[in-house]
Structure 1
Amino acid sequence: MRWTRKTRGAVARHRRRTGALALATVLAIGVPAAPGWSAVAGLDDAARLTGRSFGTALQSARLGDPTYVGLVEREFGSVTPENELTLDALQPVRGRFTFDAGDRAVDWARARGTQVRGRTLLWHAGQPGWLAGLAGSALREAMLEHVTRVVEHYRGEVHSWDVVSEAFVDGTGARRASNFQRTGDDWIEAAFRAARAADPGARLCYNDYHTDDLRHAKTQAVLAMVADLRARGVPIDCVGLESHFGPHTPVPEDYRATLEAFTALGVEVQITELDVEGSGDVQAADYARVVSACLAVQRCTGITVWGVRDVDSWRPGGTPLLFDRAGAPKPAYHAVLAVLTAGVPPDPTPAPCPGPGPSRGSRGTGARPR
């Protein structure tokens, strides 16, 4: 069938009618089949039919593992190098940039037409010792130089950057008393402006955890910051929600409302580090709730699970991912696929995923400075 704007509108209306039923089915029986979708190769293929991407954290050290590589290639159309692009990895010595590991991850992804998210330019953690010894104007200069050099290096190759991560504390929602914060309240604004100057085509995001519940002070503080930045013309394009869930941090009832609150400010939302501790139908239902909420919000443009198999997770004891340690799909995987495909007719020509980055099967034209 021809995948036209009219067709996409009809699909969207049908999805709204059937999505609630599909989710109810997922919650009731955990692992429904997705009839008519045998041609869908993986999660990202299904997500792109909704205009979204579906990605994973990438560990370049595991690229020699054929099971790991096979899952990434089949299921995910976007990757976030897990630690290869952090400040301590890229500039362990001041002024000496070590791009080798980052380049391997980015080149591997782009050779396969896979989008790359960049994590993270400025973060209170993951800092080399030399940076911790700076203060004031010297720290501000080094901070912005790092942003500029890294974003310029990957210009045209990274479609979204987490420019700043985790600048607020839980509870009160106050600014974290980091070394960056001590250079002045405008440090976040300065970082976003430097990133935009270095790559005008990249999507620039603020990223944080425990911002999933609209009622929490931290969520409200980030909303207020984004509103202020947008009102003053600061180039912020999206907000990333890390969304780490489990028995002690359940998916909030107002999760969709949180996504809607951010998009109402004129930014996209991306679910950037999703995982859910648990197993079986309970875990499957939580994953389904999150994915369903994203599909219900037009400007929720991408979902990234924080790892491939349970054994690859940063908290492997909680078995929080979509594939078990052997690489077999879990009930959560089938629940996510069911929600992604609910209400979409089989075998349409995929609609393009929004955003400036290269889609799966294509490559950008940006040349990396050397």
Structure 2
Amino acid sequence: MKVQNLILMAGLGLVCLSGCKSTKGNSEVTLKDAFANKFLMGVAINDNQASGRDSAGAQLIIKHFNSVAPENCMKSEVIHPEEGRYDFTQSDRFVAFGEKYNMDIIGHTLIWHSQLAPWFCVDENGKNVSKEVLTERMKEHITTVVSRYKGKIKGWDVVNEAFEDDGSYRQTKFYEILGEDYIPLAFQFAHEADPDAELYYNDYSMAHKGRRDAVVNMVKKLQAKGIRIDAVGMQGHFTMEFPKVEDFETSLLAFAATGVKVMITELDLTILPPPAPNVGADVSANFDYQKEMNPYPDMLPDSVSKAWNDRMSEFFKLFIKHSDKVTRVTVWGATDADSWRNDWPMKGRTDYPVLFDRNYQPKPFVNEMINEASNNKSK
């Protein structure tokens, strides 16, 4: 037997071992089945998984999730690296993967100040372009990308992370040049490109009152203008201290009260100490490696693992409680090894932030939540 076939069988064997067992008998229950009458179970996937190079990861995703989002391949620096040139290689693979396995496909993200193609907002001299030029670039980019996947992608993260913790607008190039108008323009262009696609606003640290109020106000402004917005994505980049579950719940209810859906996006829970206060989930944050900031390079102590599982369980119980409002929960990475948390905001750390470990095994709370969902069948 060929070596590559042996490797593939070994990888698939790992996934078979990772099936979640209900504590009530030996019947296997997957995450997507357990939450089928509550919300979609989504996951961010990378190109190794979409292409099949990570066969064990791909099989884990196929087994447990019914929605996929692209971790990086649809961000403008990848999909539109130069003016007039698109690279759909990875995004086409991602969409094909979701279609093949009949998953709800989420597009991420159309307008974001981070991982932005360097040319997008400036001229050949590096100076800001005019309002007219940036508006046209936004329209061309959104129209090209959304139109390519029209009818294939269920919904788009149209604008990502437009506000600060205090509710002020983030001082991005988009805001600097276009002011707050860039948000309705982005939603308008996306709707025109695919009138049937759902459109979302996505942000982190949504438990902060300032950001909560700003997002509620933004949603109401779009609605007043007759501009489509279907959901608010509440990024779940949690720490062991932030947010308080009750504060997150307050924001969830505030967003739902505007009449839009609520989606839990980019879910992960870091166990590692923060190198500075109030880092949030700003991808531009960067700190030099410090050994004391990497306390668990090999494994988690049992007490720490239990604390992590208990806290993640609290949040999943909240999602179940409000499953009449929450339509999707998307984990940001299939396994701990895939998570961006390992290298952010400090490269070289080992983190344990998502639902499956580095051996493709479910964390203890996963079985607990499957039973919790099974015992709360009505929405």
Q: Which bin holds the TM-score, normalised by the shorter protein?
A: 0.7 to 0.9
Contact 1:251/1:290, CA 8 A, preserved across alignment: no
Contact 2:245/2:315, CA 8 A, preserved across alignment: no
1:169 is aligned to 164
DSSP 3-state at the match of 1:253: helix
Residue 127 of structure 1, CA deviation: 1.1
1:322 is aligned to 355
DSSP 3-state at the match of 2:180: coil
Q: Distance in 1 between matches of 2:210 and 2:74?
A: 30
Segments of 4+ moved more than 6 angstroms: none
Contact 1:277/1:319, CA 8 A, preserved across alignment: yes
Residue 322 of structure 1, CA deviation: 0.9
DSSP 3-state at the match of 2:262: strand
- TM-score normalised according to structure 1 size: 0.79
Choose from 241, 252, 255 the match for 2:248: 255
1:128 is aligned to 117
Gaps of 5+ in 2: 1-19, 124-128, 272-303, 343-349
Contact 1:269/1:299, CA 8 A, preserved across alignment: yes
- Pairs within 5 Å for 1:76-155: 76-134=65-123, 135-136=129-130, 137-155=132-150
Contact 1:54/1:303, CA 8 A, preserved across alignment: yes
Deviations 1:139-168 (A, max 9, x none): 111012111111111101111100000011
Amino acid at match of 1:315: R
2:34 is aligned to 46
Deviations 1:167-191 (A, max 9, x none): 1112x21111111112232110011
DSSP 3-state at the match of 1:89: helix
2:336 is aligned to 310
Residue 93 of structure 1, CA deviation: 1.1
2:295 is aligned to none
Count of aligned residue pairs for this structure pair: 311
Q: Distance in 1 between matches of 2:23 and 2:356?
A: 18
Distance verdict in 2 for CA 1:111–1:199, change over 3 Å: same
Gaps of 5+ in 1: 1-30, 346-350, 352-370
Choose from 317, 321, 324 the match for 1:296: 321
2:126 is aligned to none
Q: Distance in 2 between matches of 1:307 and 1:132?
A: 30
Q: Distance in 2 between matches of 1:115 and 1:273?
A: 16
Residue 250 of structure 1, CA deviation: 3.8
Task: Point out which structure has higher relative CO (alpha carbons under 8 A, 6+ apart).
Answer: 1
Q: Distance in 1 between matches of 2:23 and 2:367?
A: 8
1:337 is aligned to 370
CA RMSD of aligned residues (A): 2.0
Percent identity of paired positions between Structure 1 and Structure 2: 36
